Structure 1
Amino acid sequence: MANNAYEAGDFKKAEKLFVDLIKQLLTDGVAQSHNSIIHISAKLANLYAMFNEEVKAREGFHFCIHHLETKIRKGEDDFDTLALYSLILSWFGDYVHGRGDFTQSLALFKQSHEISVKINGKHHPHSLLQLNNMAAAYTLMNRLEDAVDCLNTALVLAQEVQMDDGMKDLPYYFINLANVYLTQVEKSAADAKELLKMAENSCREALKCAKVVDNRDALIQARKCMKQIDSYQIL
């Protein structure tokens, strides 16, 4: 029920149900460090982030990461625990990224990526998502070449195996790559024409992929990207 409320966008109801569920699990004798409680606590931390309850959000993420790291140090490094750790590192990375701490978010995304590659493989959608997240952090740190490298790697890997979730995200990777090229255009007049051409090519690929996977949101974003490129009037 809590997950249903969350998916339906009824976040206050989801918060109450998640809190009640944790209380019930603890009453039933489930340990605080059990993965089920950690996962619910991480979802609550995400909700508190949405509500701008910063202290609760940070405490929630720190609680989850502390317990997972303690378990892993003790040798509890089964797939489920590592997968949950990678997921929560990514969520916490999103949280601090949204608060402007790009250095910490980059470190969290890198750590999440490393674990995901270890347990899922480099082609897994979660591994690819972390490359995309790393690119976002690099872009805002003005490390644009690193951002391009991450996105190009994600694009190559996604197309090598073509997992469903990875292909669904593929248009966004092309759009993000185009946006990095546009950022480079603003900073470098010397090769602006070439960069705009690369941005245009990336946007066209995004449009093509969005149509193939029937991703309406990506299609809208790709069209906006093309309009932005056209506005430069250098091509």
Structure 2
Amino acid sequence: MLRTAASRGLRSGCRFWIPASGRSCRAPLRPASGFRSSLARPNVQSRRGSLGSRSGTSLALLATIGIFQWGEKQLASEDEIILLIKHAKLSAAKGELKDAERILHQALHMAQQAQNNQAISYIYCQMANLAFLHGDLLSAERLFKATMSHLLGSGMQQDDNALIEISLKLCNIYATTDRHYLAVEGYKWCIETLEEKVQHEEAVPEEALSAEERENTRLLLAMVQDSCARYLLSRGQLELATTLYQKALTIAQDVHGEAHPQAVVLLNDLATVLDMKGCYDQAYEYISRASSLAREMGHTDEHRILSNMARILVHAGNYTEARKVYEEALKQAKLKGDELAMQHIQEGLEELDASTHSSHGQGQARHQ
């Protein structure tokens, strides 16, 4: 599988899931230009060039949070904060997480001195992402909640995409730390809130809301559905996972078209869950399409998709074709130096050998 995942179904429960403070603020936040003009504004994308950005919440905040314009004296401080954050992001990109953390603490100190709550919120979010990368999930949880508290205190609406992305991060932390109830309630809240928001935005006149903003909300919904589906899949809830993958795929294809990296990944994931359900023909239909698109676009995960295709062929009893596909997947994995994929493919070949021997043994027994 390209990705492993993880629930026992969505329960009915609390409608509003704001773990930071338990309160809701509906006064809208009017962002100014500050950080947004100084740091690159992201689109909602995800891992492997997909539905949500690799830095997730922090990047969504860039699109929604601005720092109010100050006087000339104070603008120098704002520039210094922005410069420090850029340095921290560069250090993090290089894998120098300790340096990034140290620089962010400097930026936080300056933002606190300037009493700039929106800068503080953004820096907290960056620090939370660093803690997440370190594997310090409890610190990341605390910092994400602090970010939410600052944003809500600033008047941001609880259905703002930035807050929902933070909520999604918390869901993933709860899922990883085996807090199933909190994870499920969180995913449920995110999905329901975004579904309502998408419906509302569809009724808003075009001149009042840009197409890009509408798409970002839909893509965020797909990202949540995708994340929740992976969680459900790892807990054996195949029917719910299938439904959520199908919904996420529909959005990805509607917004980006079928020939998009994330649409290909979702095709693969949907094929995987169908394979687990024993729906081999349908699974092969999806994985074949994913493989064809991956080959056409030179997708970085083509070898992994081929490995999944071979596994589906094995389960369907088509051992000859499965071996050919595995061999091609192994060839590509070696060229890309993907040792983990090579290991999975070798395990798949061992499974194929065992299945082939078992099949031959059964055939001989029937002829005796």
Q: 2:274 is matched with which residue: 138, 147, 150? A: 138
* Range 141-150 or range 72-81, more displaced: 72-81
Asked whether 1:212 is paired with 2:338, we answer no
Once the two structures are superposed, the pairs formed by residues 124-135 of structure 1 within 5 Å of their partners are 124-135=260-271
Once the two structures are superposed, the pairs formed by residues 93-112 of structure 1 within 5 Å of their partners are 93-112=229-248
Equivalent residue for 1:50?
176
Asked whether 1:202 is paired with 2:325, we answer yes
CA apart distance, 1:213: 2.8
Give me the TM-score of the superposition, normalised by structure 1: 0.89
Equivalent residue for 2:290?
154
Equivalent residue for 1:177?
309
Equivalent residue for 1:227?
350
2: distance between equivalents of 1:124 and 1:214?
A: 24
2: distance between equivalents of 1:127 and 1:9?
A: 29
CA apart distance, 1:212: 3.0
Asked whether 1:59 is paired with 2:59, we answer no
2: distance between equivalents of 1:98 and 1:222?
A: 20
1: distance between equivalents of 2:333 and 2:221?
A: 31
2: distance between equivalents of 1:134 and 1:14?
A: 30
Equivalent residue for 2:167?
41
1: distance between equivalents of 2:336 and 2:151?
A: 40
SS at match of 1:179: helix
Q: Deviations over 1:17-46 (max 9, x none)?
A: 111111111111111100000001011111
Amino acid at match of 1:97: L
Q: 1:86 is matched with which residue: 217, 222, 226? A: 222
Asked whether 1:168 is paired with 2:300, we answer yes
Q: Deviations over 1:193-213 (max 9, x none)?
A: xx1111111111111221233
* Range 72-81 or range 40-49, more displaced: 72-81
CA apart distance, 1:142: 1.1
Structure 1 spans left out of the alignment, 5+ residues:
186-194
* Range 16-25 or range 68-77, more displaced: 68-77
2: distance between equivalents of 1:7 and 1:209?
A: 29
Looking at secondary structure, tell me which structure has more helix per residue: 1
2: distance between equivalents of 1:90 and 1:100?
A: 15
SS at match of 2:156: coil
Counterpart contact for 1:168–1:215, Cα < 8 Å: no
CA apart distance, 1:170: 1.4
Amino acid at match of 2:232: V
Q: Deviations over 1:72-119 (max 9, x none)?
A: 111256121111111111011111122222111111101100100111
Counterpart contact for 1:178–1:200, Cα < 8 Å: yes
Distance 1:43 1:170, change over 3 A: same
CA apart distance, 1:131: 0.9
2: distance between equivalents of 1:211 and 1:218?
A: 9
Amino acid at match of 2:324: N
Q: 1:30 is matched with which residue: 140, 149, 156? A: 156
1: distance between equivalents of 2:353 and 2:237?
A: 33
Give me the TM-score of the superposition, normalised by structure 2: 0.58
Larger Rg computed on CA atoms: 2
Q: Deviations over 1:161-212 (max 9, x none)?
A: 22xxxx2221221111111122223xxxxxxxxx111111111111122123
1: distance between equivalents of 2:325 and 2:333?
A: 12
If asked which structure has higher relative contact order (CA below 8 Å, sep 6+), I would say 2
2: distance between equivalents of 1:179 and 1:220?
A: 14
1: distance between equivalents of 2:179 and 2:131?
A: 20
Counterpart contact for 1:41–1:64, Cα < 8 Å: yes
Counterpart contact for 1:172–1:206, Cα < 8 Å: yes
- The count of residues paired between Structure 1 and Structure 2 equals 222
* Range 210-219 or range 145-154, more displaced: 210-219
Amino acid at match of 1:86: A
CA apart distance, 1:8: 2.5
Counterpart contact for 1:117–1:127, Cα < 8 Å: yes
CA apart distance, 1:146: 0.6
2: distance between equivalents of 1:81 and 1:196?
A: 43
